[in-house]
Amino acid sequence: MTKNFNLTEGKIRPTLVKLALPIMGTSFIQMAYNLTDIVWLGRLSTEAVAAAGTAGYFIWFASSLFMVSQIGVGVNVAQAYGRGDIETAKKYINNGLQFNLTIAIVYSLLLFIFRHEIIGFFNLQDPEVVKMAVDYLKIISIGITFHFLNPVFSAILNSSGNSVTPFKANTIGLITNIVIDPLLIFGLGPFPAFGVKGAALATIMAQFFVTLIFLVIGKKYGTIYSHVKLFQKPNIQIIKNIVKLGSPPGMQIGIHAGIAIIINKILAGFGPVAVAVQSIGSQIESISWMTADGFSAAISAFVGQNYGAKKIKRVQDGYNQGIQILGSIGICTTLLLIFGAEFLFSIFVPDDPVAIKEGISYLRILGLSQFFMTVEIGTTGAFNGLGNTLPPTINGVVLNALRIPAALFLSSTALGLSGVWWSISVSSILKGIVIFILFAKYRKQIN
């Protein structure tokens, strides 16, 4: 069991990197869950990828709901930990997990009950894709509670300076998923071939295993969340504080997911190949945004602890050095997506030249925005650590919303389907520029 460490002392860059690397690894693991599914489903059919990708938007939307507790608990734990107030940190953990579990159960029921209506919204042209998407969503809805719990457990440990334990737990879950995914999709020996349903089963089984690991660790090693009592009377004021802090980023993710759902509906008009290309391309592109998201969580914990300890100069320096690292990652990803587009996309649908051709266009256009996207995500982490989650939310919501009219307009021109990709890329560039300017102004007010 790795111990927590104090982020308010020591050299900044090594401290940030030491904290960030396991979180980034955990983010890559979350990305790898989806990539594993797509790699195998791509060998089943392009339609199978489109089905899983369509249903997968509602896993993404779930992120907006657990993000409330993930940010609300994580930031308060980091700041309390920086002050040395462990009892307050424990209160936030207990109430945050209670609140998160309640939301998870409600969301699970809604997905299960309305699965046909949800998939019907997309007006998918292929009945077989519709059937596979409904089957996938049905299974995911049953086990999505574990998808809610694991990020909050990770955030609690990250905020107390322990980012290695979540990495180890999620790594074990990924290995589980990698092993059972092809077995359940294609069948082998005693395992029947479940197709798309097998991918969904593998995902929820792996997530359940990770939750179990977190619970065992909590019980065995007495972690900061080992005291949790889910049936204890909740503290309404603490829950209000969690919701107040976590709602803006949660709302941003929710609106972003909603916008992506509408974009996917626009893509459905171009056929299943367009939907599949977006599903695959976004997962490849997540090389940078998942990395940035992991480093952003480290920046948030670092800023939170140091802000709680009133070490403002260290907050400023931590942000500067964090953005330098993230900007470098963004530039490297741009080069990878532009020059390696054909190779990367061919991994997922090796036998579909039409999808590969459109996928190359997607990756090269989105590649142009990677530097700006990493800056946006890293700066959002700094805002979150300071407890000011509203500016990045407004920035993200407004500019993401512009993707819809831009996609409708540009896709109706000679650009065609590429117009949709340009609407996404340009909005990401603008988000990075605007949030950087907002934080440059805000940081002058910190005291």
Provide CB contacts within 8 A for 111, sequence distance 6+. 58, 118, 137, 140, 141, 144
User: What is 240-254 written as a DSSP string?
Assistant: HHHHHHHHHHHHHHH
Nearest to 91 by CA among 221, 236, 282, 238: 238
Return d(Cα 94, Cα 406) in angstroms, integer: 43
Within-domain flag for 2: no
In a domain, 250, yes or no: yes
Q: Which residues span the domain enclosing 126?
A: 12-445
Residue 40 lies in a domain: yes
Residue at token pair 């969904």: 200
HEC string for 75-136: HHHHHHHHHCCHHHHHHHHHHHHHHHHHHHHHHHHHHHHCHHHHHHCCCCCCHHHHHHHHHH
Quote the CA–CA distance of 429 and 424 in Å, as a whole number.
9
Residue 1 within a domain: no
pLDDT in the model for residue 99: 94
Name the DSSP class of 413. S
DSSP β-bridge partners for residue 188: 191
CA 315 to chain centre: 25
Contact 61, 254 (CB under 8 A): yes
Structure confidence at residue 108 (pLDDT): 96
Asked whether the CA dihedral 42, 44, 46, 47 is positive or negative, the reply is negative
Rounded CA-CA distance 161/331 in Å is 28
Looking at residue 3, its pLDDT comes to 55
Going residue by residue through the chain (447 aa), what tens digit of pLDDT does each one get? 455 556 777 788 888 888 788 877 777 777 777 777 777 887 788 788 888 878 887 887 888 898 899 989 988 888 888 788 888 888 898 899 999 999 999 999 999 999 999 998 888 878 888 999 999 999 999 999 998 999 899 888 888 778 788 888 988 988 898 889 889 998 877 778 898 999 999 989 999 999 999 989 888 777 777 777 777 888 899 999 999 988 888 887 888 788 888 888 888 888 888 888 888 888 788 778 878 888 888 888 888 888 888 888 888 888 999 999 999 999 999 999 999 989 988 888 777 888 889 999 999 999 999 999 999 999 999 998 888 888 998 998 899 999 999 999 999 998 989 999 999 999 999 999 999 999 998 888 876
The CA distance from 43 to 383, in Å, is 42
Q: Does 115 map to a domain?
A: yes
- Whether residue 256 is contained in a domain is answered as yes
- pLDDT, residue 255, reads 85
Beta bridge partners of 191: 188
DSSP code for 9? S
pLDDT, residue 380, reads: 93
Give the integer Cα–Cα distance in Å for 125 and 115: 17
- Could you tell me the two tokens for 403? 């993707």
3 domain-assigned: no
Look at residue 404 in the predicted model and tell me its pLDDT. Answer: 93
- Rounded CA separation 55/39 (Å): 17
Q: Tell me the two tokens of residue 232.
A: 């204890």
Yes or no: say if 137 and 58 are a contact pair by the CB < 8 Å rule.
yes
Two tokens, residue 337: 């997506």
Question: Residue holding tokens 């008009």?
Answer: 269
- Provide the phi-psi class of 65: left if phi over 0, else alpha when psi is between -120 and 50, else beta: alpha
**Cα-based distances in Å from 70 to 97, 318, 326, 415:** 9, 22, 22, 40
The string of DSSP letters for 283-341 reads HHHHHHHHHHHHHHHHHHHHHHHHHHTT-HHHHHHHHHHHHHHHHHHHHHHHHHHHHSH
DSSP structure string for 175-240: HHHHHHHHHHHH-BTTB---THHHHHHHHHHHHHHHHHHHHHHHHHHT-TTTT--TTSPP-HHHHH
Residue in the structure block whose two tokens are 């590649």 = 367
Please choose, from the candidates 152, 140, 174, the residue with its C-alpha nearest in 3D space to the C-alpha of residue 26. 174
Which residues have a Cβ under 8 Å from the Cβ of 402 and sit 6 or more positions away?
423, 427
- Report residue 76 as tokens: 């308060």
> Per the domain annotation, does 257 fall within a domain?
yes
Report how far Cα 327 is from the mean position of its chain's Cα atoms. Answer: 19
Please tell me the number of Cα atoms within 13 Å of 318 on its side-chain side: 34
Please give the tally of structural domains in the chain. 1
* Whole-angstrom distance, CA of residue 280 vs CA of residue 344: 10
